[in-house]
Amino acid sequence: MKNLIKILILLVSSQVLASGEGAHLEKAETNIRSKESLRNGAKNYMNYCSGCHSLQYQRYKRMAEDLGLSKEEVEQNLIFTGAKYTDHMTMNMSSEDSEVWFGKAPPDLSVIARARGNDWLFSYLKGFYKDPSRPSGWNNTVFKNASMPNVFWKQQGIQEAHFDEHKLDSGVVTHTFDKFSKLTDGTMSDEEFDHTVRDIVNFLDYTSEPAKLIRLAYAPWVLLFMVLLVLMTFLLKKEFFKDIH
């Protein structure tokens, strides 16, 4: 029994650590039904992220069909790598090269929204702050010591993070995130920046389960069918039983 409790405590604490040392996550408030948001997310994803990250389970063609984009729009605005319309959304950089450049290969993001959750992604992309002690010059409040550079420093503006210090009874000192303050203004307002990041997270939510859009579109029809089926069964029962007394 004691061992069981110990294992439970270990499990819970490792989960807390894995989720960013209990960092406060901001609500992403994405809307997967908004095609406009998904299209904007796809555009921004291709511009800001696809140079380093792949979406190896997603094809350009599938994305175009799901988001209501034409073949020409995709080829002209969203494919930067010389890939074909029917190809998977991989990238040109090899993982060996990127490991040398960043110390860690940028992971494939196909199912990242399922692994991390939308709120985590939203907070992560907004959580980069200046930290001269890191090789890249950046750190992150939800993913400590992440080796990804801050791709949005111009748009968001450079921010500094402030932490509260707590001294535990055991003498260990811990830091919890308090707030950000801006060192420079970004080219986007806070609302515009939230909007940009929210749409990218929405797009990543879609790529993690492209069938979700179809499922949501069919759902009302399936429910209507069930209601009609129950009604017909009921009428049929009445018809069958009407001569039985």
| Nearer residue to ligand HEC within complex by CB, 141 or 147 | 147
| Tokens (6 digits) for 38 | 């998904």
CB 69 to ligand HEC: min, Å? 19
| Nearer residue to ligand HEC within complex by CB, 20 or 60 | 20
| Nearer residue to ligand HEC within complex by CB, 59 or 126 | 126
CB 181 to ligand HEC: min, Å? 22
Q: Are the C-beta atoms of 76 and 90 separated by less than 8 Å?
A: no
CB 140 to ligand HEC: min, Å? 9
Q: Strand, coil or helix: what is 97?
A: helix
Q: How many whole angstroms separate alpha carbon 19 and alpha carbon 26?
A: 13
CB 75 to ligand HEC: min, Å? 21
**Residue ranges binding ligand HEC (CB under 6 A):** 48-49, 51-53, 102, 104, 106-107, 109, 112, 116, 121, 124-125, 146-149, 151, 200
E-strand ranges in 71-196 read 88-89, 128-130, 138-140, 159-167, 173-182
The CA-based angle 188-192-196, given to 5 degrees, is 105
Residue 174, sorted as left (phi over 0), alpha (psi -120 to 50) or beta, turns out to be beta
Q: Are the C-beta atoms of 43 and 197 separated by less than 8 Å?
A: no
| Tokens (6 digits) for 99 | 């490991």
> Judging by beta carbons within 10 Å of its beta carbon (0-12, 13-18, 19+), is residue 57 exposed, middle or buried?
middle
- Residue 137: partners with Cβ closer than 8 Å, 6 or more residues away: 130, 131, 149
| Nearer residue to ligand HEC within complex by CB, 52 or 161 | 52
| Residue of this chain nearest to ligand HEC (CB atom) | 49
| Nearer residue to ligand HEC within complex by CB, 8 or 16 | 16
Nearest alpha carbon to residue 74 among 89, 58, 85: 85
| Nearer residue to ligand HEC within complex by CB, 43 or 116 | 116
CB 38 to ligand HEC: min, Å? 14
CB 51 to ligand HEC: min, Å? 5
| Nearer residue to ligand HEC within complex by CB, 66 or 127 | 127
CB 95 to ligand HEC: min, Å? 10
